[in-house]
């Protein structure tokens, strides 16, 4: 699948690959709209090429979270050195590699996502667990992949994300509020989604990957291009793999 991400500026631009990204003021960046038919085509291609997207999923995974209020210790232990290693590579080196043709733009985009996930994935997974425990029947949840794609479209690139979180009180979703931890911000966003009737079909479809993607593609919580951008992020970066631990993985 060809990544649809637009290359960001080599000089620290904070815009994502969104073709029509929403920002906190409610303003949007105009673009040619993508169609629902195109989204359906991309979902069909993804499901056909990814076996994990064709089976019902067990959403009872707690990722080793000892409580509903904190990230998994194992997730933190594994992502901390990754974040440290990736964050140590500065923008000037990345720019030089790109200019020399040693690091293609597409590779850098995945590098950016790796940094982003090293910062956010444990919090998003904890929020998934919390939302499952808080929903009435406990049979579904707000998936980490939704929260990660949502945050990715709003927040700045990974190499400057930590600075912004320090300045805004972990307000990664730019809600205008401050949070003691990044996990609190993700849990608040999960709660907002879980309580919004426009998002209910996505929650109800969470156990079936294909239905989940199809529901997300028409979810009116975001505008047309906002939901397509989030869907594309999930498909391009395989973010649904963050919703569970593979067989044999340590919980």
Percentage of residues of the chain with pLDDT beyond 70? 81
Helix residue spans in 155-194 (DSSP H): 158-168, 182-194
Among 82-91, 119-128, 194-203, the minimum mean pLDDT is found in 82-91
Q: φ and ψ at 110, to 5 degrees?
A: -70, -35
Percent of the chain clearing pLDDT 90 (strictly above): 49
Task: Enumerate residues 6+ apart whose C-beta is below 8 A from 238.
Answer: 50
DSSP symbol at 238: T
What is the pLDDT averaged over residues 216-240?
Answer: 94
Cβ burial, residue 166 (10 Å; 0-12/13-18/19+)? exposed
Cα separation of 111 and 168, whole Å? Answer: 24
Residue 136: per-residue pLDDT:
66
What's the confidence (pLDDT) of residue 2?
37
The length of the chain, given as a count of residues:
251
Query: What pLDDT is recorded for position 35?
Result: 66
Q: Does position 20 have pLDDT exceeding 60, yes or no?
A: no
CB-based burial label for 103 (10 Å; 0-12, 13-18, 19+): middle
Q: What is the rounded average pLDDT for all residues in the chain? A: 81
Give the distance, in angstroms, between the CA of residue 226 and the centroid of all CA atoms in the same chain.
13
Q: Which pTM was predicted?
A: 0.82
Closest CA to 228 of 8, 16, 59, 12: 16
Mean pLDDT of 95-110: 87
Amino acid 90: pLDDT: 81
CA–CA gap between residue 217 and residue 36 (Å, rounded): 7
Q: What is the mean pLDDT of residues 179-197?
A: 95
Whether 63 has a pLDDT exceeding 90, the answer reads: no
**pLDDT value of position 30:** 35
Q: Looking at the DSSP assignment, which residues form a beta bridge with residue 28?
A: 22
| Residue located via tokens 């109800």 | 204
Whether 110 and 237 have beta carbons less than 8 Å apart is answered as: yes
- Residue 95 has a pLDDT of 86
pLDDT of residue 187: 95
What token pair was written down for 170?
């972990």
Cβ 62 vs Cβ 245: under 8 Å: no
242 DSSP assignment: G
C-alpha to C-alpha distance for 127 and 188, rounded to whole angstroms: 8
pLDDT digits (tens, 9 = 90+) for 119-166: 999 999 999 998 887 776 666 889 999 999 999 999 987 778 888 999
Residues facing 22 on adjacent strands: 28
């Amino acid at each position: 699948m060809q990544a649809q991400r637009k290359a960001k500026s080599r000089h620290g631009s904070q815009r994502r690959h969104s073709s029509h990204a929403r920002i906190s003021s409610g303003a949007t960046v105009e673009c040619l709209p993508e169609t629902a038919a195109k989204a359906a085509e991309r979902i069909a291609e993804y499901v056909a090429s990814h076996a994990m997207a064709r089976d019902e999923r067990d959403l009872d995974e707690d990722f080793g979270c000892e409580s509903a209020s904190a990230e998994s210790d194992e997730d933190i232990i594994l992502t901390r050195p990754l974040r440290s290693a990736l964050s140590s590579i500065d923008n000037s080196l990345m720019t030089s590699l790109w200019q020399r043709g040693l690091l293609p733009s597409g590779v850098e985009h995945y590098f950016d996502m790796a940094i982003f996930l090293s910062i956010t994935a444990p919090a998003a997974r904890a929020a998934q667990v919390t939302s499952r425990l808080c929903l009435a029947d406990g049979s579904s949840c707000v998936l980490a992949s939704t929260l990660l794609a949502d945050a990715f479209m709003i927040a700045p690139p990974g190499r400057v994300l930590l600075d912004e979180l320090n300045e805004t009180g972990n307000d990664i979703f730019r809600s205008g509020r401050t949070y003691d931890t990044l996990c609190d911000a993700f849990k608040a966003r999960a709660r907002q989604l879980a309580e919004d009737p426009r998002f209910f079909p996505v929650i109800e479809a969470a156990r079936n990957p294909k239905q989940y993607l199809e529901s997300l593609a028409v979810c009116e919580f975001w505008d047309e291009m906002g939901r397509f951008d989030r869907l594309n992020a999930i498909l391009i970066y395989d973010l649904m793999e963050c919703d569970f631990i593979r067989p044999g993985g340590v919980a």
